[in-house]
Structure 1
Amino acid sequence: MNSRITRRLGKAFPDALISQKRKMKPVIPFIGDTWWLGVGRVLLFTVLLFLCFFILFIRLFHLTIIRGHEYRALADGNRIRELVRHAPRGQLLDRTGKPVAVNEAQYRRLLPCEAGRTANGACVSYLTQAEGEALEKTGLPVGSFLETDWKRRYVLGSATAHILGTTGEITAGELKDEYYQLRNYRTGDRIGRSGVEAIYEDRLRGRDGKELVEVDASGRILRVLGRDTEVTGIDIILSIDAGLSQVVAQAFPEGKRGAIIVSKPATGEILAMYSSPSYDPNLMSTGLSEDEYRKLADSSDRPMFNRAIGGVYPPGSTFKIVTAVAGLEEGAITGSTEIEDTGIISVGPFSFTNWYFTQYGRTEGMVNVIRALQRSNDIFFYRTGERTGIERLAVWARRMGLGSLTGIELPGEAAGLMPDPDWKSKHFTTDADLEARNNLWYAGDTYHIAIGQGYILTTPLQTAVWTDIIAAGGRYCVPTIEKVHPGISSGPACQELPIKKETLSLVTDGMVKA
């Protein structure tokens, strides 16, 4: 209903102006409540839908164009797996070609690290050939893979343990070493730890191959896509004789400590080397726990210690060979020189006896060098050492290999000790020694050295070396554990020592008659 309003506006207008209030219509017809319920919602939904498609397009562009190659590589990685085909080590053969260290097939199982680690912290475990084949049939757990691998077996066991040595799994610390990184060593690889296995590691180790396989979502191998064949390591022919090595080990007195060395004087080749007590190197191949290894390594019998090259002992009467050579070469004695066996030599309050007199109370009369070597007469060599002098005796001892490393390839060799007055003055320097004059060299010191007693220390290998010099006619060859091939390789360096033929003949005659 319209309302009437009367206003007075002045003379220009009628006294009464009638106005009617009316409802105004909007200028834009769609602005109002009906717009949001109709066209507005459709427009907003269209804009939002467009934005969503735009965002999806940008994301798709980023995934397929910008980073597509990365995700394709990841997808292939989940579908294609590269497995290592581990190369067998080269075999170790004796001088006749008989294998003394061979390879036996086994498997290396690769485990997801987060699922559990082996005792050494690596995601690797080892299975026998039968265990690996059985696991392949039943199926591997998700994320696990099998790689063909090899373990070492030592045919003669403890008889050749100290020559052949052992292998052991590479440690995490060694894998960080540049030397092993450059040679592509991997977790679980086994390397030479001692003996021949260690010194010829680069030759024995083969070149690993590769195998590309397609796997399903559970990790099961579907098919082989490609293969790079592994290359076996180089076989090494050693100087040892397998049969002789067994005989030597069996002949050694049970429960005794010591060493036996059999060598070829003309070339320096070692035909057999046995150190007692010994150990079975096959235990290392199957894997020892840390406690088992420590028990073996810390044993008071020291079975892993190679006494043949690392043990030093007074050589005893074997050193009389050197004393005889020194005396003859220096002119202190000749082949016709005779020295009376008095049974005992007294120097002040000290007495030096012959073993025959000590045991039986008897003497042997006049003795020459041949008879002295035959009977190992101490009186003769006391006097020969005294006539030669300790300085010249020491010179000849060192020429024949005493007091320095022989140069054999095996690690752990000791140099021994050839004492002389200068050595004694440098090592007996305490106030008590000086007061007692222990730093001085006495005739009794020379007597002791001349028969291989006193301060002198040698290894069994050094004893074999100076014996070989006589047997080889004065030729000194560096001992070796690798076979010397006549006409192909000359072996380690050999040299002729300045020993007269007459000297060699006299000493040889005495040794043969002993």
Structure 2
Amino acid sequence: MAGMKARDPALRLRRRFSRRALLVGAGQTGLFGLLAWRLRQLQIMESSEYRLLSDENRVNRQLTAPVRGAVYDRFGVAIAEDKENLRVMVIPAYCKNLAATLAAISSIVTVSASDRDRIKRTTRRQSRYLPILVTEGLSWQQFGLLNVLAPQFPGVRTDRASYRRYSNARSAVHVVGYVGMAGEGEVDEDPVMRVPGFRIGKTGIEKGFDRQLRGRAGSISYEVDAHGRIVRELGSVPSEPGKDVVLTLDHELQAFALDRLASQRRGSLVALDCITGEVLVMVSMPSFDPNEIAFKADAQKWKALATSPDEPLNNRAAAGLYPPGSTFKVVNALAGLTAGVITPDERITCRGGYFFGNHLFHCWKTHGPISLHDAIKASCDVYFYETAHRLGIDRLAVTGRALGLGHAYESELAGQKRGVMPDTAWKRATLGVPWYAGETISCGIGQGYVLATPLELAVVSARIASGKVIEPRFVRSHGSGPQPAPAPLPIDPVHLQLVRDGMSAVVNEKGGTATRSVLSIPSMPGVLMAGKTGTAQAFGHGVAHHFTGWEAQPHALFIAFAPVDAPRYAVACVVEHGGYGAHAAAPIVHDVMTELLLRDPAGKPTYTASKPAGAPSALADAGATR
């Protein structure tokens, strides 16, 4: 019995150890099982995901900027294209002393203090193993010397990229526009925006067609170590160049028109094809050279442009708003004929002024009894005061809009503004007050609330000349077939012809306000131009400032089309504070119209780009290709 009792504690100890061992073993088995399950999940089930994460840590992918598409005029002359850009980069991680490296580079090519500050800031923001642009636009001599001395400059890398170069720059800049670095709100639109030196369209066609011109970025993949150092190149995907754009402009006519406007401080001119609506000329004065701000921009030059009182950055032809003055009388005449409130033979007596209530509206001359034809020819204010009074502003506005006023036309020309063709609803919605009958009198001669851009005035002239709903177009279509014929205007052709005859009399009959601008082309005898002069007060409603000197002069305007018997070209010109339309604007239009008829750009075969941009739907019918 004693022996059994002696053995019981040992037995109990062994049993207790066995239970503990069993529990520990079971726990170990469970842990190893869990570990095996997790390893299986990581190695087999989720291997692709972690392999991707591993590759992302091991592989560095850098985007390469595409070559931007070129912009051509209608005959294939390059206006904007990419040129080779020689650059020098620095990789801070490989530099023993970044400041010393930049100082060494500056012994060959200038590195400004602002560039040094930019490089230092960028170094703090991103990996030191990523390249940073030091400067660009190197000469071949500088580029070659940096390549030869590169082994002595650790971390220095040369690079060949591209930059935007504009030809015929000053004459076309307000249509073509220019490129610049992406702004804060644009850098996240596309990863390529963060590529050093990449530029996007800022104004004009460059902005409107930016996505087509931009192309698609390529990439180069590098294997890197744990510190981000490049080990080797793994492969690359080539970038896709941007599409080319062919404009409707004639660059030689652009240069001619700008040169003709050069004598004026501010002005603009637009010329259209009356059949297709293609914009052949659009110039704005003063102009500027986009090469000075699109590449290696000079801060002082940019500031001078941006703060100039003459606003050279503004495209006056598409965004300048002016009272149309007496050029609006052709709109008033068509509205009166359409509504039946006047007839061609009715004579309205002009005594040099028109009383409405207690207010006297002046005419520039006493014309006596005058018919529609002579009222257009002599630009009688009283005739059109009475016509507007009979019409009322709402019926006048219907015809104005039918002729193209108050429109921002569908196109890819960025920055276009809409004129004002007021009516009672417009004033109530805009100013919150009713329309007064006396305001209609002022609108009848293109003053008051009526405002138009030179582009709109050119459209008015083209629509009257053709009898069609002409839409202005800046880009020629590709592969879309012939464009559909413009719809006819909702205006009686007989009435249109009456106004055309009056406009012809302005230039070609004795007593017309623009007889000094009659065409005289020896090689084209008998070819006539029709037109309408305009002289508009340069201030509007609510302007309390009293202008003096040059600013006190009225704006000079002239609209025209030719040939009279088969209209093909329509032109509108505005000279700010130029005085009388017959003296300042009409002679300019005379010279441009003469050049248009002699060159006849609409009658010549045009250029087709090898890789054209697919025109947006608004421009799908921009014109036939050769």
TM-score class, shorter: 0.7 to 0.9
The residue correspondences of 1:436-451 to structure 2 (distance < 5 A) are 439=434, 441-442=436-437, 444-451=438-445
Residue 115 of structure 2 is aligned to residue 104 of structure 1: no
Between the aligned partners of 1:184 and 1:455, the Cα distance in structure 2 is: 43
Q: Which residue type is aligned with residue 483 of structure 2?
A: S
State the partner residue of 2:522.
none
Aligned to 1:93: 72
Whether the aligned pair in 2 keeps the contact of 1:344 and 1:351 (CA below 8 Å) is yes
Q: Report what 2:348 is aligned to.
A: 339
Measured against aligned partners, the alpha-carbon deviations of 1:446-478 in whole angstroms (never above 9, x if no partner) come to 2211110112111111111111111222x1132
Alpha-carbon distance in structure 2 between the residues aligned to 1:120 and 1:95? 46
SS of 1:496 mapped into structure 2 = coil
Report 1:165-314 matches (<5 A).
Answer: 165-171=177-183, 174-175=186-187, 177=188, 179-181=189-191, 186-210=195-219, 228-314=237-323
The secondary structure found in structure 1 opposite 2:272 is: strand
What are the ranges of 5 or more consecutive residues in structure 1 without an aligned counterpart?
A: 1-68, 216-220, 358-362, 431-438
For 1:500, the equivalent position in structure 2 comes to 492
Which residue number corresponds to residue 509 of structure 1?
A: 501
Segments of structure 2 that go 5 or more residues without pairing to the other structure are: 1-50, 99-115, 123-131, 225-229, 507-626
Which residue matches 2:410? 407
Write the distance in 2 (CA, Å) between the matches of 1:423 and 1:232: 46
d(CA) in 1 for partners of 2:299 and 2:469?
43
Q: Alpha-carbon deviation of 1:505?
A: 0.8
How far does the alpha carbon of each residue in 1:13-70 deviate from its partner, in whole angstroms, 9 at most, with x for none?
xxxxxxxxxxxxxxxxxxxxxxxxxxxxxxxxxxxxxxxxxxxxxxxxxxxxxxxx99
1:398-417 residue CA offsets vs partner (Å, 9 max, x unmatched): 22222232223212222222
Question: What is the distance in 2 between the residues matched to 1:169 and 1:429?
Answer: 42
SS of residue in 2 equivalent to 1:139: helix
Pair 1:138 & 2:149 matched: yes
Change (3 A) 1:174 1:253: closer
Counterpart amino acid of residue 152 in structure 1: R
Q: Distance in 1 between matches of 2:244 and 2:288?
A: 24
Match of 1:452 in 2: 446
Moved more, 370-379 or 311-320: 370-379
Tell me, in whole angstroms, the C-alpha distance in 2 between the residues paired with 1:381 and 1:212. 72
Letter in 2 for 1:100: I
Question: 1:84 offset after TM fit, Å?
Answer: 5.8
- Give a deviation string over 1:113-150, Cα, whole Å, max 9, x none: 57455379552234225233432233263223333211
Task: Give secondary structure in 1 for the equivalent of 2:243.
Answer: coil
Which residue of structure 2 lines up, in the alignment, with residue 353 of structure 1? 362
Which residue is equivalent to 1:329? 338
Residues 138-190 of structure 1, C-alpha deviations (whole Å, 9 max, x = no match): 32632233332111111112111111111112246533x2x213x67523211
Partner Cα distance (2:430, 2:235) in 1: 68
Choose which of 472, 477, 483 in structure 1 pairs with 2:476: 483
Q: Distance in 1 between matches of 2:352 and 2:264?
A: 35
Q: What is the SS of the residue equivalent to 1:469?
A: helix
CA distance 1:424–1:106, shift in 2 (3 Å) = closer
Report which stretch shifted further, 92-101 or 457-466.
457-466
Give the deviation of 1:334 after TM superposition.
2.4
Structure showing greater Rg: 1
Aligned pairs for 1:364-443 within 5 A: 364-425=367-428, 439=434, 441-442=436-437
What code does the residue aligned with 2:352 have? G
Q: Offset of 1:229 from its aligned partner?
A: 4.1
8 A Cα contact 2:335 2:396, kept in partner: yes
1:159 aligned to 2:171? yes
**Quick one: structure 1 residues 411 and 171, their matched pair in 2 at CA, closer, same or farther if it must change by over 3 Å?**
closer
Q: Distance in 2 between matches of 1:404 and 1:206?
A: 32
Q: How far 1:308 moved relative to its partner?
A: 1.3
Instruction: Report the AA paired with residue 488 of structure 1.
Output: G
Other structure's SS at 2:469 match? strand
What is the rounded CA distance, in whole Å, between the counterparts of 1:334 and 1:186 in structure 2?
A: 67
Higher deviation after alignment, 414-423 or 499-508: 414-423
Q: Whole-Å Cα distance in 1 between the matches of residues 221 and 147 of structure 2?
A: 17
- 1:109/1:121 CA distance change after superposition, 3 Å: farther
Letter in 1 for 2:155: G
C-alpha distance in structure 2 between counterparts of 1:133 and 1:507, whole Å? 68
* Residues 346, 372 of structure 2: 8 Å contact kept: yes
Letter in 2 for 1:104: K
Cα offsets for 1:264-285 (capped at 9, x unmatched) = 1222211111111221111123
Give the number of equivalent residue pairs: 420
Supply the distance in 1 between the matched residues of 2:430 and 2:193 (Cα, whole angstroms): 48
Report the CA distance shift for 1:505/1:422 in structure 2 as closer, same or farther (over 3 A).
same
Code of the aligned partner of 1:507: V
Quote the RMSD (CA, aligned, Å): 3.5
Match of 1:469 among 445, 455, 463: 463
Deviation at 1:226, TM superposition (A): 6.1
- Check 1:325–1:133 CA distance in 2 against 1; reply closer, same or farther (3 A cut): farther
| C-alpha deviation, 1:88, in angstroms | 1.9
Please give the per-residue CA displacement for 1:367-419, whole angstroms capped at 9, x wherever unaligned.
Answer: 22222222212122112112222221112112222223222321222222222
Other-structure match for 1:41? none
Deviations 1:83-114, CA, capped at 9 Å, x for gaps: 76543211100011111112211134332357
User: CA separation of 1:86/1:390 partners in 2, compared to 1, >3 Å: closer, same or farther?
Assistant: closer
Residues 353/120 of structure 1: CA separation in 2 closer, same or farther (3 Å cut): farther
C-alpha change, 1:409 and 1:184, in structure 2 (3 Å) is closer
Question: Does the Cα contact within 8 Å between 2:325 and 2:447 map onto a contact in 1?
Answer: yes
Partner of 2:322: helix, strand, or coil? coil
**Partners of 1:75 and 1:314 in 2: how far apart?**
64
Q: For the structure 1 residues 103 and 121, does the alpha-carbon distance in structure 2 shift closer, same or farther, using more than 3 Å as the test?
A: farther
Alignment partners' CA distance in 1, 2:448 and 2:82: 48
The residue type equivalent to 2:355 in the other structure is S
Write the distance in 2 (CA, Å) between the matches of 1:495 and 1:283.
43
CA shift at 1:225, angstroms?
8.3
Aligned equivalents of 1:213, 1:127: Cα separation in 2: 24
> In structure 2, what is the Cα distance between the partners aligned to 1:206 and 1:459?
33
Is residue 351 of structure 2 the alignment partner of residue 319 of structure 1? no
1:174/1:121 CA distance change after superposition, 3 Å: farther
Q: Which amino acid is 1:107 matched to?
A: L
Identical positions, percent: 33
Contact kept, 8 Å, 2:182 with 2:193, in 1: the verdict is no
> 1: CA distance between counterparts of 2:58 and 2:413?
48
What amino acid is aligned across from residue 291 of structure 2 in structure 1?
N
Structure 1 Cα separation of the partners of residues 442 and 120 of structure 2: 52
Query: Does the C-alpha gap of structure 1 residues 486 and 174 become closer, same or farther in structure 2, counting only changes over 3 Å?
Result: closer
Amino acid at match of 1:416: G
CA shift for structure 1 position 198: 0.9
Q: Which has the higher mean CA deviation after the structures are superposed, 122-131 or 111-120? A: 111-120
**Residues 402, 171 of structure 1: CA spacing in aligned structure 2 closer, same or farther, 3 A cutoff?**
closer
Residues of 2 paired with 1:190 and 1:425: CA distance? 44
